[in-house]
Amino acid sequence: MVPSLLFEIMLIGVLGVASQWIAWRFRLPAIVVMSVTGLAIGPVFGVINPEEDFGALYSPFISAAVAIILFEGSLNLSFKELRGIGRPVFRISTIGAFIAWILGSLTAHYIAGLSWAVAFVIGGLFVVTGPTVIMPLLRQAKLKARPAKILKWEGIIVDPIGALLAVFAFEIITFLTASNPDAMQLILFFAASLFAVFIGYVLGKGLGWMFEMGHIPEFLKSPAIVVVVLLCFTLADEVMHETGLLSVTAMGITLANMGISSISDMRHFKENISVLLISTIFIMLTASLDRETIMQIFSPNIILYVLLMMFAVRPLSIFLSTIGTGLSLNEKTLLGWIAPRGIVALTVSGYFANVLSDAGYEDASILTALTFALVIFTVVAHGFSIGWLSKKLGLSNEGNPGALIVGSNPFTIELAKSLGEAKYPAIIVSSSWEDLALARNAGLHVYHGSMLSEQTEQHLDTIPYEYLLTVTHDHAYNSLICTTFMPEYGRTNVFKVSPYTNFEDGYSTGVVSKVGGRILFDKKFSLEELVEKVEDGFTIRQTTLSEKFTFDHYKEKKDPETVFLFLIKPSGQLKFFSEEMRTIPVSGDVIVSLTKPNNE
């Protein structure tokens, strides 16, 4: 046991973030690592039991965290994304959810042995996937745009729908089994659901209006959003349990579609908070399991139920609901397989296990084990298979991580060619058709538009590209792009061409050198000089280092005007040379450089 609750909170936070880092470092499914970590420190070694240790604070903390996570996910749901995927998203979220509810309930009754009442409650709940499990998988798998967007929309939209289906099923059961049925309860359920949507819409509109009119200062905007999300969730949830999820989803979608400029800035803050909450909650939930529940998970009827949910119920609901939507067979196959359950299923099932037990349904005691079995099996199976399956189906952006190059000129064209020859995808983006003509004639992948325009955000698929290089003559524009996309690409993957000017007393520049992005190659090489070198006949060469020909030997032999462009590690990792580069090339590395034609 840990010495204090403060120590336990610290331990949960450290292990949660460490799990995310391990998953990133070794390319593992984050939710799998977090689940294993929670099981290890909880039921396996008995270090902590958050549900007992937190006491009365446990459930409210989990609920508040789920509300923030769901809101953060819905804040990314712009209706403009629905172009081309609106019909399948609507069908899956309505017809698909209904089919999954009915089939899941039948499976729970006939296979898991649950009574009809409990089966229909848990069947409604298990239609959820949710952002807590879908978002980490999407970051890991690098799916193509259409299936990725469908999974994201389904996960966020169906989350509150599943919870409401469970509540609706419980209300129907209560109504049908009551000695004096009162239809008013059903009317109240629908009224409470409408109220939840209304309160979410009103609070979203109100908060958005205050942001736009300047009634909330910048330093208070993020705290204000967190507080209003909790207010929105609590108001709805106090009226009827689980409608709070619907309310925060409505609030997030409302804000996402108001076109508020400051929302995009705060979205990154909310995403960081969401990642932290997902990490800690998964640790807390799995650590709170007892060994008896874990043993129940491996009982034959539960395992058979989980297998049927994964291999029959989900595929059938997807294939039937997407008839006539234009989705390909491969897309339906992927969507029919990927449906991991997460935090919402765990928290809501715990609530209904208590409610149904109090109502006299003895078989409700198995709900916790059933839910954890479905969560653990789907998280592991889908976490490890999504990358492999998406590649087999041709729905992932395969290959090495590439570079998105902003600016079309003789130098960027040669740079993009060299990346392509090294099997790294590259795309050149420019708002000038005239500049892009050179790149198109060279057979390169191009996109016409400004990186900062909303149209580019909607139409340019950036998933295949891990690196962003801004190489235009407008240094302020370069810095602005780097600053804008730094949260998305990461500080170490965003570069700008040197804005420095070589004066006699040293290198000088304006404020743009301090804003966003690392200096590409070397500060002494401006874009004008790079273009001039290409026009003077400099060529791009690959040099492989060895034990006999080290990096020091290479630097001694190279021409002073040589420009180190990028480095390819034996593992396939790509590293661009920059002012802040800390990696020292070693034996086996391939250095790609821009050198004089006569330099061998």
Q: Residue 476's domain is classified under what CATH number? A: 3.40.50.720
Contact 469, 495 (CB under 8 A): yes
Mean pLDDT of 480-490: 78
Q: Are residues 473 and 387 in the same domain?
A: no
Say yes or no to pLDDT of 87 above 50: yes
Of 392, 421, 453, the domain-final residue: 392
Q: Are residues 409 and 469 in the same domain?
A: yes
Of 348, 373, 392, the domain-final residue: 392
* HEC assignment per residue over 408-471: CCHHHHHHHHHHHHCCCCEEEEECCHHHHHHHHHCCCEEEECCCCCHHHHHHCCCCCEEEEEEC
What's the structural domain count of the chain? 2
Specify if 540 maps to a domain. yes
Q: Are residues 381 and 421 in the same domain?
A: no
Q: Are residues 327 and 464 in the same domain?
A: no
Specify if 600 maps to a domain. no
Q: Are residues 116 and 171 in the same domain?
A: yes
Residues 6 or more apart whose CB falls under 8 angstroms from that of 193 comprise 164, 240, 243, 246
pLDDT of residue 198: 92
Say yes or no to pLDDT of 140 above 80: no
DSSP string, 108-137: HHHTS---HHHHHHHHHHTT---HHHHHHH
Q: Are residues 422 and 365 in the same domain?
A: no
Q: Are residues 111 and 136 in the same domain?
A: yes
Specify if 291 maps to a domain. yes
CA distance 258 to 254: 7
Q: Closest Cα partner for 249 from 238, 261, 233, 234?
A: 233
Q: Closest Cα partner for 95 from 167, 158, 160, 150?
A: 158
For the chain, give the mean pLDDT.
80
**Which CATH number characterizes residue 338's domain?**
1.20.1530.20
Class of residue 213 by CB neighbours under 10 A (exposed 0-12, middle 13-18, buried 19+): exposed
Whole domain around residue 232: which residue ranges?
5-23+34-39+47-392
Q: Are residues 513 and 383 in the same domain?
A: no
Specify if 499 maps to a domain. yes
Taking only the tens place, the pLDDT of each residue in 410-419 is 888 888 888 8
Specify if 28 maps to a domain. no
Say yes or no to pLDDT of 505 above 50: no
pLDDT of residue 523: 78
Higher pLDDT, 303 or 464: 303
Say yes or no to pLDDT of 293 above 90: no
Specify if 29 maps to a domain. no
Cα within 13 Å of Cα(274), Cβ side: 27
Q: Are residues 385 and 421 in the same domain?
A: no
Taking only the tens place, the pLDDT of each residue in 515-563 is 667 888 877 788 888 888 888 888 888 888 887 777 777 777 777 778 8
Q: Are residues 384 and 448 in the same domain?
A: no
Specify if 245 maps to a domain. yes
Say yes or no to pLDDT of 185 above 90: no
Specify if 397 maps to a domain. no
Q: What is the pTM of this model?
A: 0.69
Q: Are residues 502 and 444 in the same domain?
A: yes
Of 372, 392, 412, the domain-final residue: 392
